[in-house]
Amino acid sequence: MSELYDILTETPPTKVVLLALDQGLWDCERSLAELSALCEANHMEAVAQITQKRQTPETGIVLGSGKLEEASLAAQTLGAECAVFDGELTGSQIRNISNALGGLEVIDRTMLILEIFRSRAVTNEGKLQTELALLRYRLPRLQGMGEALSRQGGGGGGGGGARRGAGETKLELDRRHVHARIDALAEKLAEMEKAPGREPQGPR
């Protein structure tokens, strides 16, 4: 057990770049400090913060293209593996930002929080509940991530068309897998709720 603990604690945290749009609606600096702490709780290290002050988001990519170029350069220079956006993103926004960052993985604040809850759930029911919540949040965003999946599914000497087809197949497989997992989790939780003598439990 101690050897496993040593391995886990010695694993270096994933380096991430924080992204934020400052519309003057809240204290952006404080919000980013909180986001950095959330990353730390999920074994991530925020190595750079890229913010932009503007009243309205840039269509499709939220931040301006210049800021995303800055973020991409920071990620490459500092070895970041992921970008975390301080707010919620749609599937198409995730795809567009990821494309602008050269294919870097992109998640938003809600995904990060749900992942923390999932990883720290103690009871079996709590683990199922938090996994279900995370999958339900991710599901509508899978379609928007189609191009990133296409790059992952990639392949062969068939050129762009072949890669696109492979990606679309992978996307459909991923969506079916998520749907099946959601159904299985919901069914399992329903069985738990009907169990005699059951006491209500939540993610703790």
Q: Tokens for 93?
A: 């926004």
Model pLDDT, residue 173: 75
Overall residue count recorded for the chain in this entry: 204
Q: Would you say 53 and 26 are in contact if contact means Cβ atoms under 8 Å apart? A: no
Burial class (CB in 10 A: 0-12, 13-18, 19+), 22: middle
Contact 51, 68 (CB under 8 A): no
- The percentage of residues in the chain with a pLDDT greater than 70, rounded to a whole number, is 77
Listed range (62-71, 169-178, 194-203) with the worst mean pLDDT: 194-203
Confidence band of 151 (pLDDT split at 50, 70, 90): very low
Count the neighbouring beta carbons within 10 Å of the beta carbon of residue 98.
21
Radius of gyration of the chain (CA): 19
What is the average pLDDT value for the chain, to the nearest integer? 82
SS3 call for 142: helix
Q: How far apart are CA 129 and CA 140, in angstroms?
A: 18
Contact 127, 121 (CB under 8 A): yes
Entry pTM: 0.73
The model's confidence at residue 175, banded by pLDDT at 50, 70 and 90, is: confident
**What's the Cα-to-Cα distance from 182 to each of 54, 137, 191, 192, rounded to whole Å?**
38, 11, 14, 15
Q: Which residues contact 203 (CB under 8 A, 6 or more apart)?
A: 117, 118, 120, 121, 123, 126, 127, 129, 130
Q: Which residues pair with 44 in a beta bridge?
A: 14
| Distance from C-alpha of 158 to C-alpha of 146, rounded to nearest angstrom | 19
Choose from 23-32, 67-76, 181-190 the range with maximum mean pLDDT. Answer: 67-76
Structure tokens at 145: 């991530």
Q: Which residue has the higher pLDDT, 154 or 53?
A: 53
